[in-house]
Structure 1
């Protein structure tokens, strides 16, 4: 049975310095055999909902977000959006040198450049279409946008499968050499988005990575090292209790893992919720994955972020699995290259697969 795709509207984007007011389109992909579904909008090429089964067959939305476009426009700091680009993560001082030319990017995070700048791809209106059972979003970033060289043409494709998978694929070409590296910044809570005040209670995590790229704790800029996780709080290879770790380390996690790649890896990362029985597996062709535990959400006692259906979201109420290249790779020659050149195609594929486990 084929996946069904329907289209409706999600409000109106008011426009901005380089954008006209536009209706926001929403696409719902559903497996009619079991109800597994996902919703995406063309503002930011954003995943706004994903309904997965618990062990009793009950569907629940495991993606944090908002009921209308206004929520996404108002809550800009936590990056409640889908597609991050042109580059994910921080670039130190917003500066890099490429082929002998110095480039200065916009500075939007302290003294650094973060997630594509002030108006990154997560804040753009994309051109939507439906093709071959997939929802495709396209965007043209012009030469000089946020300081990046060259025109860049991007397509992001969302596909739901009958195997309870959400596949996200990225393709890009450029007119000049340019750093390119996307990710998806969806906030998940496998107990359901309405549990965004429970600090990921019941969540157990596995990341198949022997190393991380450490950061300066002050500004979270990559140091350039590749350091082993063995014997540190970053060793998540043994399915530890993430809630317990967050209680022990209240600063949370915001770190890039150097994924173990190869045919022997059934998955790169895994999260399970012991209460609902939901399991999410991530597989990717990218060398890294940022684990982020919603550290910037409000502390308990402060006014919460109010999400879908009036749910309250607090610090450590969700997690992100952000498949990506290593942050600041453009400034570290020993990291996997971030440079895309004319005539080449950037391709990136990440799969989020959902299953259930019994008690």
Structure 2
């Protein structure tokens, strides 16, 4: 097992490094201390050919220039916060409005654009990186000094283990995720429309025209939101369901798990044979089929940005939970520890 390091750019006069983790089976995961961005994952297909299965850029400047959140740790609070404000214990907190009238993905300079401290991790059957960041009281409008630790481990079982721990010195809100865009075709040879996804979720959140949860929780039965027996992403793109049309023809919805730590997400791509199994301790996954991905730029394979190039599986708490008391709470109090764990297992199915 091996870790290599190289310079990746400079941000705010701080050096940014790219760390490449390699296990004993040839799988590699590259990540950077800028936003804990995962830039590349080389995973084998059924013929043993290693290719990149996530979207990314070749240098840090592109990550800053193009607000895609490719591969980044997003927070303090992932997703949208209605009207860019919230109340805790009778006190109102005002956040920057970064999408219309709302706040999204932690603000103008959320966790995804911060330079983190980094140190290598070497274990018997895994190598990894430990990233730490101290988010000061008032940063992007959020209360509390928050100490965050993110770890990425690459194991010899071809697993990427993502954890996040955080503590605060005063009551605040926290809901972190990783925003990787997966494409199991390898080297972005095709879009993700024919990827088949299985979710252990029987409910999803209804969204309004600003893509905020309305508070209504909808049963997936008899809709293209029912992934319990497996379904191709293209079904939602061609669907006339108002919720698919609302988000730009596809998916950008939180799905609520019926169970955890038991293959609750399974993604496969039949041509390459690649599979991805995701298990987490989080209550939901935001499924985003990159319906809004567009712009005059190319990703690291030289492919022009366009819709449906990647599939995000953002394991997290329910979006905008601070405004919906019937959602699981995302409030973190002094003396408590926030703990997130998501395991991505890469495999293959034979033809």
Unaligned runs of 5+ in 2: none
* 1:194 and 2:188 aligned: yes
* 1:325 and 2:325 aligned: no
CA distance in 1, matches of 2:158, 2:61: 30
Matching residue of 1:18: none
User: Alignment partner for residue 87 of structure 1, among 69, 77, 96?
Assistant: 77
Matching residue of 1:143: 137
**Deviation (angstroms), 1:312:** 2.3
**Deviation (angstroms), 1:244:** 4.2
**Deviation (angstroms), 1:309:** 3.2
**Deviation (angstroms), 1:304:** 4.8
Matching residue of 1:29: 21
Matching residue of 1:287: 283
* 1:7 and 2:29 aligned: no
Deviations 1:196-241 (A, max 9, x none): xx3314311111100011110x101111122211122211112112
**Deviation (angstroms), 1:243:** 2.7
* 1:210 and 2:202 aligned: yes
- Number of aligned pairs? 340
Residues 287 and 314, structure 2, Cα contact 8 Å, conserved in 1: yes
Matching residue of 1:39: 30
**Deviation (angstroms), 1:266:** 2.5
Matching residue of 1:183: 177
Residues 83 and 122, structure 1, Cα contact 8 Å, conserved in 2: yes
CA distance in 1, matches of 2:187, 2:280: 24
**Deviation (angstroms), 1:247:** 3.6
* 1:269 and 2:265 aligned: yes
CA distance in 2, matches of 1:143, 1:292: 31
CA distance in 2, matches of 1:56, 1:245: 30
User: Alignment partner for residue 108 of structure 2, among 97, 104, 118?
Assistant: 118
Query: Bigger CA drift: 78-87 or 153-162?
Result: 78-87
Matching residue of 2:299: 307
Unaligned runs of 5+ in 1: 16-20
Query: Bigger CA drift: 56-65 or 101-110?
Result: 101-110
CA RMSD of aligned residues (A): 1.4
Secondary structure of 1:146's counterpart equals helix
Give the alignment's TM-score, normalised by structure 2: 0.93
CA distance in 2, matches of 1:312, 1:243: 20
Matching residue of 1:68: 59
CA distance in 2, matches of 1:338, 1:309: 37
Secondary structure of 2:231's counterpart equals coil
Give the alignment's TM-score, normalised by structure 1: 0.91
**Deviation (angstroms), 1:145:** 1.0
Deviations 1:143-178 (A, max 9, x none): 111111111110100000111100000000001100
CA distance in 1, matches of 2:162, 2:232: 28
CA distance in 2, matches of 1:203, 1:73: 29
CA distance in 2, matches of 1:247, 1:235: 15
Matching residue of 2:161: 167
Residues 193 and 311, structure 1, Cα contact 8 Å, conserved in 2: no
User: Alignment partner for residue 230 of structure 2, among 236, 239, 256?
Assistant: 239
**Deviation (angstroms), 1:251:** 1.3
Matching residue of 1:343: 335
User: Alignment partner for residue 152 of structure 1, among 146, 154, 157?
Assistant: 146
Residues 188 and 309, structure 2, Cα contact 8 Å, conserved in 1: no
Deviations 1:36-90 (A, max 9, x none): 11001001111000010100010000011111112212212x2224100101111
Deviations 1:237-281 (A, max 9, x none): 12112234324456110000011125xx62111110000000001
